[in-house]
Chain A
Amino acid sequence: QLQLQESGPRLLKPSETLSLTCTVSRGSVTSSNYYWGWIRQPPGKGLEWIGSLYYNGSTNYNPSLKSRLTMSVDTSRNQFSLKLTSVTAADTAVYYCARHSNYYDSAGFVNTSPDFWGQGTLVTVSS
């Protein structure tokens, strides 16, 4: 069965850059059937979709994070990554990586949705 494992620093100071990597096992980031992405959840709060990407590098970001966000894929390592700059305490959350399924809507645009999640990693921003 597919396995997704998040890794990266767990404690950051304000203004630093959050960098996380998701390693894909028993599956391939180059699968034409799936996108890959990130979701976060502040402690005690709900889920927030961060963004998704395709193995060819095409990305789709949450508009509220877009100015600080970069997502990328490393096909040679079967990994995909997230970078979020200028973090504040509001970025403290459990970050999940997830495989995304997709479909084309009536207008011909691709829509993605998480269908399999990693276990998540808590990233804390504190001075």
Chain B
Amino acid sequence: SYELTQPPSVSVSPGQTARITCSGDALPKKYAYWYQQKSGQAPVLVIYEDNRRPSGIPERFSGSSSGTLATLTISGARVDDEADYYCYSTDNSANPRGVFGGGTKLTVL
């Protein structure tokens, strides 16, 4: 079955740039999406279609995708950005199924 691979954890100091990666064989042909999940809350979409930001998401959140690697970048990370981040995409089947990465715990301290 198709898998998306993320690092389990990333740690940065406030004001630094945090980069979270997501690797998947189908990413050259499929969009990547990124979700932020704070403790006890439902996930929130922060990047869609590789690099587009939904209304209300701060500009410090950006996304990119090249080949089999998608990247979420948080520029000038804040303590409030501390959360779990999940990438999502779909597989290459004729009836594409959704797949989440394992999630990355971002620590900002």
Give every chain A residue within 8 A of B65 (Cβ-Cβ). Answer: none
Interface contact B43-A117, CB-CB below 8 Å: yes
| B24 close to A (CB within 8 Å) | no
| Choice from B42, B49, B88 contacting A49 with Cβ under 8 Å | B88
Q: In the complex, how many angstroms separate the beta carbon of A104 from the nearest chain B beta carbon?
A: 10
Task: Determine the main DSSP class of A at the interface with B.
Answer: strand
Q: Which residues of A contact B45 (CB under 8 A)?
A: 114-116
In the complex, how many residues of chain A place their beta carbon closer than 8 angstroms to a beta carbon of chain B? 30
The answer to whether B48 and A47 touch across the interface, beta carbons within 8 angstroms, is: no
- The CA of A106 and the CA of B94, in the complex, are separated in Å by 11
B42/A118 in contact, CB under 8 A? yes
Shortest Cβ distance from A110 into chain B, in angstroms? 7
Q: How far is the CA of A19 from the CA of B99 in the complex (A)?
A: 23
Point out the residues of chain B lying under 8 angstroms from A85, CB to CB. Answer: none
B96 contacts the other chain (CB 8 A): yes
Kindly identify which residue among B29, B94, B98, B103 contacts A112, using a CB–CB cutoff of 8 Å. Answer: B98
- List 10 other contacts, CB 8 Å, given A47-B37, A47-B43, A62-B98: A37-B98, A39-B100, A47-B35, A60-B95, A60-B96, A103-B31, A105-B90, A112-B90, A113-B90, A117-B44
**A contacts, CB < 8 Å to B:** 37, 39, 46-49, 52, 60-64, 96, 101, 103, 105-107, 109-120
